[in-house]
């Protein structure tokens, strides 16, 4: 049976490559930094230009599809996941890295139908790594199949996480207490490359056992969800329940055991949902 969404996925891969080339060329040249929710939530002309490029191309080729994009939402568009085929796009994941020339920056394109993610494309454009996954067909990096780590022991694991961009002291305290609990399990190490999408691809690649974060957005993780699942991994909310794409909390792990061990250590907070104003 032909794959109904193959055409969309091929287009996403081609868009991610074009967008990634643009991002790569702009690193450290696009010095005009603007602020969003706080002084550490950055945006540049490149974020906006890349999102416009992707949005216009999707609207032209798939006029009936819906679109949720980080910069469109920042400009006031609704962030509501309906049953309609929906592109969920982060034009530059790792904007802080982009601004500083720290070499982990990704274009992230997820695609959902009936609220179920069907494919994910993450192009880590400085590394020139194209991660792709189609539901039921496996996950790949530059065409090579991906498989999560088979590690079952949390104390032999590396865990990825981030500090996010909320500097309210109550939130920072929870981030630190969660991290302290996990570090002291103990684990082999804690890492984080500054891009949620790339952290998830590292789980899929098997070099870190898990990634968790509170404060991410749906566009940071939509593509990574399919890539992790298709590499054999699992997704969970930080409270141990099922992942809710709009809840701004995620655990992505190589297996349920590791995900649950992390969830037990997390001092959870509940950021304002992505769909709060449109729910
Ligand atoms: C951010 C990155 C970062 C994570 C933040 C995200 P952005 O996305 O993924 O690693 O800690 O929570 O918002 O702003 O660079 O697209
Ligand atoms: Ca972004």
pLDDT digits (tens, 9 = 90+) for 61-93: 999 999 999 999 999 999 999 999 999 999 999
142: left (phi over 0), alpha (psi -120 to 50) or beta: left
CA 237 to CA 168: how far, in whole Å?
22
Question: What average pLDDT does the structure give for the chain?
Answer: 95
- Residue whose Cα lies nearest atom 13 of ligand 1: it is 216
Q: How confident is the model at residue 41 (pLDDT cuts 50, 70, 90)?
A: confident
To the question of pTM greater than 0.95 for the whole model, the response is: yes
Distance 10 CA to ligand 1 centre (A): 25
Residue 48 Cα distances to 56, 57, 76, 106, angstroms:
12, 14, 13, 14
pLDDT, greater one: 87 or 2: 87
Quick one: pLDDT at residue 32? 78
Quick one: pLDDT at residue 86? 98
Identify which of 188, 201, 181 has the alpha carbon closest to the alpha carbon of residue 252. Answer: 201
Q: Which ligand is nearest to the CA of 70?
A: 2
- Residue whose Cα lies nearest atom 2 of ligand 1: it is 195
- Whether 28 shows a pLDDT value over 80: the answer reads no
CA 269 to CA 168: how far, in whole Å?
12
Question: Which range among 2-6, 95-99, 118-122, 234-238 shows the weakest confidence by mean pLDDT?
Answer: 2-6
Distance 184 CA to ligand 2 centre (A): 31
Rg for the chain, CA atoms, rounded? 17
Residue 231 Cα distances to 34, 116, 140, 188, 255, angstroms:
36, 17, 8, 22, 11
Ligand 1 pocket test, candidate residues 33, 216, 225, 238, most atoms within 8 A of CB: 216
HEC secondary structure over 49-64: HHHHHHHHHHHHHCCC
Mean pLDDT of the region 37-45: 84
Distance 197 CA to ligand 2 centre (A): 10
Q: How confident is the model at residue 31 (pLDDT cuts 50, 70, 90)?
A: low
Quick one: pLDDT at residue 97? 95
Checking DSSP bridges between strand 158-161 and strand 210-214, what pairing results, if any?
parallel
Q: Are 205 and 141 in contact (CB under 8 A)?
A: yes
Atom number of ligand 1 nearest to Cα 216: 12
- Whether 278 shows a pLDDT value over 70: the answer reads no
Distance 1 CA to ligand 1 centre (A): 38
Mean pLDDT of the region 29-47: 83
Quick one: pLDDT at residue 20? 97
- Ligand 1 binding pocket, CB closer than 6 Å: 70, 90, 93-96, 162, 164-165, 194-196, 213, 215-217, 220
């Amino acid at each position: 049976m032909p794959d109904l969404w193959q055409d969309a996925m091929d287009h996403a891969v081609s868009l991610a490559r074009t967008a990634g080339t643009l991002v790569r060329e702009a690193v450290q040249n696009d010095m005009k930094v603007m602020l969003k929710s706080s002084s550490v939530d950055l945006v540049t002309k490149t974020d906006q230009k890349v999102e416009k490029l992707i949005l216009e191309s999707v609207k032209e080729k798939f006029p009936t599809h819906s679109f949720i994009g980080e910069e469109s939402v920042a400009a006031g568009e609704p962030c509501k996941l309906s049953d309609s085929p929906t592109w969920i796009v982060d034009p530059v994941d790792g904007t802080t890295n982009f601004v500083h020339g720290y070499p982990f920056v990704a274009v992230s394109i997820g695609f959902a139908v009936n609220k179920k993610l069907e494919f994910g494309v993450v192009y880590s454009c400085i590394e020139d790594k194209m991660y792709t996954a189609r539901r039921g067909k496996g996950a790949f990096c530059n065409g090579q199949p991906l498989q999560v780590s088979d590690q079952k022991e949390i104390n032999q694991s590396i865990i990825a996480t981030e500090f996010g961009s909320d500097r309210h002291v109550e939130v920072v305290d929870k981030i630190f207490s969660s991290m302290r609990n996990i570090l002291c399990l103990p684990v082999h190490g804690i890492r984080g490359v500054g891009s949620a999408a790339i952290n998830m691809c590292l789980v899929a690649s098997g070099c870190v056992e898990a990634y968790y974060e509170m404060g991410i957005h749906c566009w940071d993780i939509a593509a990574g969800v399919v890539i992790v699942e298709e590499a054999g991994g699992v997704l969970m909310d930080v409270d141990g329940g099922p992942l809710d794409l709009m809840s701004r909390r995620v655990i992505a792990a190589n297996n349920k055991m590791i995900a649950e061990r992390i969830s037990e250590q997390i001092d959870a907070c509940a950021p304002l949902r992505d769909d709060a104003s449109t729910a």
